[in-house]
Structure 1
Amino acid sequence: MSFIQTDTYALRGYECDANGLLSIPALMNFMQESANRNVIDYGIGINDLAQRGYGWMLMRFGLRMHQYPHYGQHIRVITYPTFVEKYFIHRDFRVLADDDTLLADARSTWLVFSTEKRSMVPMPDFIRTLTPPADVDSLPKLTLKPDFQAIPVVSTETQSVTVGWFDIDQNQHVNNVSYVQWLLEAMPKEMLQTSELAELDVIFRNESHWPDQLLIRADADDALTFRHRIEQAETSKDVILARSRWR
């Protein structure tokens, strides 16, 4: 049996930015909540995996913002798995207005890890037998190795952040939304005030935990395109790499 999750969210004030538009972290939280509800229907929710010694981890995330909804507006988040492979499962998201205008879409790639060894494992059989919906128009899969990851982010300007208790999730590592919020907060002040995010492409490389110290860097490819890196302050290991495009 296959499942498509559809949830309606009314945008509250604390989910909007200084311009009264839906914030990217709030949108990602909506997407994550809808994805969680969808995997529960499939019997592979967080608690289902935890009982077997596994956890979900986001590896890739690609977001396109077509139009930003505003405070008080209702949006629909639709999500479903698209492809199941030996090591990865792919998931699409679509965000619609009341009149079915496409506000945003996103692609994601997830893996399963051992909570004991904290390392990736092949997709267990009880997940690999999952049946994605057949009557959907799936977005193309994200590449496992995006081109921007091969270009060093060498900016000497850094911002530091200490992982807080409320940044970690049930898998005992930093939630992906916290990383994106930190990445966006580190953007130049003028960019945040005068532009809006159009696209975001992220690859998650390593876990971080409470209370790790992280460093955030960004390099500009041009006036509206940036590459980002979040690294462990102590080891210099990549935590995430990303590219953002603005308009």
Structure 2
Amino acid sequence: MAFIQTDTFTLRGYETDAFGRLSIPALMNLMQESANRNAIDYKIGINDLAQQGYGWMLMRFRLRMHQYPRYGQTIRVVTYPTFVEKYFIYRDFQVLAEDGTLLADAASTWLVFSTAKRTMVPLPDFIRTLSPPQLTNTLPKLALKPHFQNNPFTPTHQNEVTVGWLSIDQNQHVNNVAYVAWLIESMDDKLLETRELAEIDLVYRTESHRGDRLLVQSVAETDDSLIHRIEQSSLPSGDSGKEVLVAHSRWRVPSS
């Protein structure tokens, strides 16, 4: 049986930014909540996987903001799986205004890991046999290795963060939304005050855990786009830490 999840949310003050717009981390959290509910209907939720020694991990996510909802508005988040392969399952999201206007959409790619070995495994049969809805408006699958992943990277901005308790989820690693919050917080004040995020494309490379020290880095690609990287801080041996995430963001002047 195929399931499409639709949830309605009225935006609260703590979910908005300094301009009253829905914040990107808050939106991603709402999307994740809807995805969790949809997974439970399919019997592939966090607890279903944990009972068999598995966990979910987000590998790719691209969010496009068409129009920002604001404090007090009611939105609908719609999500469903689109394709299932040997190693990956794909999921789309739509965010709609009450009148049906498309406010945002997102494509994502997920994998399953062994909680004992902390390594990627093929999708178990109980996931591979699920039936996605037969829809015609699914988003294209995201490239496993997008162009920006291998672009030359010499950061001009860098912050260090230490992973705290509130950034860890039930899979015992940093929740994917926490990384996006760190990226946005690291942006130049002028950019945040005069632009809004139009699109962000993310590649999650490896886990990080409580107590890890991470470098949040960025460099301008053009006047309205940046490349980002999060990596572990240098190890005591002097070696560079692992690359945790790479991303590309595009920014625009807000409409009045």
**2:15 matches 1:20:** no
SS at match of 1:200: strand
Kindly report structure 1 stretches of 4+ aligned residues shifted beyond 6 Å: none
Deviations 1:204-229 (Å, cap 9, x if unpaired)?
00100001000011010111100000
Aligned to 2:207: 207
Distance 2:135 2:57 in 1: 27
Residue ranges of structure 1 left out of the alignment (5+ in a row): none
Q: How does 1:84-99 map to 2 (within 5 A)?
A: 84-99=84-99
Aligned to 2:168: 168
Aligned residue type for 2:151: I
SS at match of 2:221: strand
Distance 1:163 1:115 in 2: 20
SS at match of 1:158: strand
Aligned to 1:181: 181
* CA 8–136 in structure 1, closer or farther in 2 if over 3 Å, else same: farther
Distance 1:179 1:35 in 2: 18
SS at match of 1:217: strand
SS at match of 1:29: helix
Q: CA RMSD in A?
A: 0.8
Distance 2:75 2:156 in 1: 40
Aligned to 2:112: 112
Residues 149 and 241 of structure 1 are in contact (CA less than 8 Å); yes or no, is this contact kept in structure 2? Answer: yes
Deviations 1:141-193 (Å, cap 9, x if unpaired)?
10000010001321154100000000000000000000000001111110000
Distance 1:17 1:157 in 2: 22
Moved more, 127-136 or 54-63: 127-136
Identity across the alignment (%): 68
Distance 1:158 1:244 in 2: 16
TM-score (norm 2): 0.95
Aligned to 2:159: 159
Q: How does 1:17-96 map to 2 (within 5 A)?
A: 17-96=17-96
Aligned to 1:237: 242
Distance 1:77 1:156 in 2: 36
Residues 157 and 219 of structure 2 are in contact (CA less than 8 Å); yes or no, is this contact kept in structure 1? Answer: no
Distance 1:8 1:16 in 2: 16
Residue ranges of structure 2 left out of the alignment (5+ in a row): none
Aligned to 1:227: 227
Distance 1:162 1:16 in 2: 25
Count of residues in Structure 1 that have an aligned counterpart in Structure 2: 247
Distance 2:19 2:145 in 1: 35
Aligned residue type for 1:11: L
